[in-house]
Structure 1
């Protein structure tokens, strides 16, 4: 019985970081990271989001999309330049039997899809969510840097390229 096992377990409240006692470099790293807030972590990983080479080779991993979107907005706000907003199409296929209010589409961000209102800046890092051209190396997960915008198009270069395209 699980209850019998848990009744025999003794709880310890750990209050002293034992590793930090003997490892001053680790202790300093913990202090630099801060109290564990997402924004402290982002500031530590990306001390200057306008330094492209640093940002191209770094990433913050999260456990859910909401946290990732919040962090992306924070980093984007720190990036120099003018914001450009792209809005998704919010009309349903008339032949589809499912009748959903278009306002509902704007509140959802399914896995593998960009948000309804996609805000971007030149210099921002983006990741392809679909295979565009496997031969050209434009596959799901490819990291790109935005170089300019058209009305309905985003011009980028692949971060692994030696010359910008």
Structure 2
């Protein structure tokens, strides 16, 4: 355990041996330990799901089971793809904008930390809260919950993490606003402020401590400390599995570790 903890710290501090690929200016690539990385020939997504959510058929609605495992990825597009697989086992602007921005275009917009237009939910799936609703009840941004009952205007859910584990709470549909410098309007969406969380982005999983973690890197991490955050969410070496794809989609054992040493040296 101490060796694993030291390796995680070395990744975070940029002390793990690195190399560079042809045409790159800096040494940012590291090799993952052979017992952690999964070198596979078949479907990478199904493999990481099986590794993290083993015995899912018998435990799919168990709070202790779901609260202790998650798959983390750098970007939301891959997170959404993973969550869709697991679930399967309006706008303020003048009316003439409707010709430029039809509803199907607006409904397809996906923003960070913003619920999707089509939110596919069912009883017994885990979700993560995207807004601070009631901190006194433990309903904070990042809280993970298990859906217990579905309503048109409210969800009944059981808190799985934080200081209010086991509490039954109501999550209302609320109006959320989203903006972008590229848009001449404010997107307004009435939706439940949650996202399915069999998988989460690396940034969203900060603060979580889990028994089983799968790190799925279809693309490398892209910012300082991101790989460290991903691998440090797990409580033991045995609970960590990493799946890496190279630019051709083949399994790989090396990935980027971006560490700005000047930041650490100044602390």
**TM-score under structure 2 length normalisation:** 0.43
Q: How does 1:76-155 map to 2 (within 5 A)?
A: 76-78=87-89, 91-94=90-93, 100-155=101-156
For residues 141 and 96 of structure 1, do their structure 2 counterparts lie closer, same or farther at Cα, with a shift above 3 Å needed? farther
How many residues get paired?
131
Unaligned runs of 5+ residues in structure 2 are 1-21, 24-30, 169-267
> Aligned to 1:54, which of 48, 65, 88?
65
Instruction: Describe the superposition over 1:104-160 as per-residue Cα deviations: whole angstroms up to 9, x where unpaired.
Output: 112111111122111111110000000001122111000000001112221101003
For residues 154 and 101 of structure 1, do their structure 2 counterparts lie closer, same or farther at Cα, with a shift above 3 Å needed? same
CA distance in 2 between counterparts of 1:30 and 1:141 reads 27
Higher helix residue share: 1
The two structures, once aligned, show a CA RMSD in angstroms of 2.9
Q: How does 1:7-86 map to 2 (within 5 A)?
A: 20=34, 26=35, 34-35=40-41, 37-50=44-57, 51=59, 52=62, 53-78=64-89
Q: Which of structures 1 and 2 has the larger relative contact order (alpha carbons within 8 angstroms, sep 6+)?
A: 2
Paired position in structure 1 for 2:159: 158
- Local SS of the residue matching 1:147: strand
Using the TM superposition, give the Cα deviation of residue 96 of structure 1 relative to its aligned residue in structure 2, in angstroms: 9.0
Larger Rg: 1
**TM-score under structure 1 length normalisation:** 0.67
Unaligned runs of 5+ residues in structure 1 are 1-5, 8-16, 21-25, 79-90
CA distance in 2 between counterparts of 1:117 and 1:135 reads 29
